[in-house]
Amino acid sequence: MPISNWPRAIALVDMNAFFASVEQLDFPQLREQPVAVTNGERGTCIITSSYEARAQGIRTGMRLREARKLCPGIVQRPARPRRYAQVSTKIMGALACITPDIEIFSVDEAFLDLTHMLPLQQRDPEWLAQMIQRQVWNASSLPCSVGLSGDKTTAKVAAKQKKPKGITVVVPWQSAAFLAPLPVTDLCGINRGIGGWLEQRGVTTCGQMRQLPISELARRFGNPGRRIWYMAQGLDPEPVITTVADPKSVGHGKVMPPGTTDRRVVLTYLGHMTVKVAARLRHYELEASLFFFGLRTDYGWLGTKVRTTPTNDSHIIYEACIEFLRDEWRGEGISQIQVTALNPAQMQIQPDLFAVEDNRKQLLNRTVDAINSKFGALSIAPGILVQRSDMPDVIAPAWKPIGIRQTIE
């Protein structure tokens, strides 16, 4: 049956083992080898792995030490986030040639709304999915899987069914039956908390969602709850979102060695994040007067919000970090830190003629930014970072190929 008979068509493009595939593409000697990508040379946790490694039981999140027991020949590769972002940008550009109605969901996933093309398509849906795969391959020489259905949720689940290089088509009127046996927690956005709440009401699979009145979900979760009810039945009403909203925050975080209690090390990590947040604010001519600082301990997060004068100066933000550490931290072991500027706004471009010191700081910051842009991040850095250990960058979860979200943390 030609896809022109569909009322709506949404495709989800999911790159296969993306980071590992880029490594195998760039380094031919790694092809057909079990590859594990970690965060830097010293990384101990696997970010992703090639399908050759997965065939031997290697999984994302596994410790490298454990992986080597399962697969002694596994090849560790340090992540190269800027390279992955470069390849992803090229892929997203190629997909935009198919349809302008594209939502870049992450660095390796994108939704395509093909509905406007349907009246012109007399071919079957599989042909359209194959065309999308060819477009990705021609742009990157990398494999992807494609899920095609009538809504975003079903398309996303479908794309996971056949990997690598798979195509799964679910005609819209069969979406409910396709999803019915799957756990509700397989759906994007349904975490353990929501999943546990649903389980208490007898809903563990998508097919059981019909038993629960939509009003009960709406009372507990509002509009997102209503959407969950429709998602489980292959009727996800959310459109492909082609615009990128202005960020409500600008932040950077880092995972630390588990159980870190050395105050100097904690300050070094916080200093690194404040420098990155400040530089990013300045790059987009933003400033903020409210900052969140967080420390993840074995007992949960320690966090607070601190007000400052409107700023994008790392020294001011770092001083607030020191106060936060003094007031909130009692020496607990720390495994992760976070520094976030909340509600950033456009900075005052016109300098105050009487604020000589502020103008001098702005000029100094612009000079430092220019040098770091030319010679590499942190070529010039505060003294607290001189003794820093290797803190490799990663791609931010909200990465997008343009604008302020084009972020490598």
pLDDT digits (tens, 9 = 90+) for 217-272: 999 999 999 999 999 999 999 999 998 777 788 888 888 888 999 999 999 999 99
Whether 91 maps to a domain, the answer reads no
328 and 274 housed in the same domain? yes
Written as one string, the DSSP assignment of 238-259 is PPP--S-PPPSEEEEEEEEEEE
Is the Cα dihedral 183, 187, 191, 196 positive or negative?
Answer: negative
Residue 391: pLDDT band (50, 70, 90) is: low
pLDDT value of position 353: 52
Whether 346 maps to a domain, the answer reads yes
- Beta strand spans in 41-182 (E): 46-49, 75-78, 102-106, 109-113, 144-149, 167-169
224 and 321 housed in the same domain? no
Structural domain boundaries, residue 318: 249-405
Residues 342-381 have pLDDT tens digits of 999 987 655 555 555 566 777 777 777 777 766 667 667 6
342 and 393 housed in the same domain? yes
- Count of domains observed in the chain: 3
* pLDDT exceeds 60 at position 67: yes
Active site residues per annotation: 109
Q: Which class for 230: exposed (0-12), middle (13-18), buried (19 or more C-beta within 10 A)?
A: middle
CA–CA separation, 258 and 1 (whole Å): 55
126 and 220 housed in the same domain? yes
113 and 197 housed in the same domain? yes
60 and 134 housed in the same domain? no
Whether 271 maps to a domain, the answer reads yes
Stated length of the chain: 409
Strand 35-38 versus strand 75-78 pairing type: parallel
Using alpha carbons, select from 391, 377, 399 the residue that is nearest to residue 279.
377
- CB within 8 Å of 284: residues ≥ 6 apart: 250, 404
Mean pLDDT of 382-395: 68
Residue 39: pLDDT band (50, 70, 90) is: confident
Residue ending a domain, among 162, 197, 231, is 231
* pLDDT exceeds 70 at position 54: yes
Residue ending a domain, among 177, 197, 231, is 231
274 and 387 housed in the same domain? yes
pLDDT value of position 393: 73
Residue 31: pLDDT band (50, 70, 90) is: very high
- Quote the crossing angle between the two packed helices 263-283 and 314-328, to the nearest 10°: 140
CA–CA separation, 274 and 306 (whole Å): 13
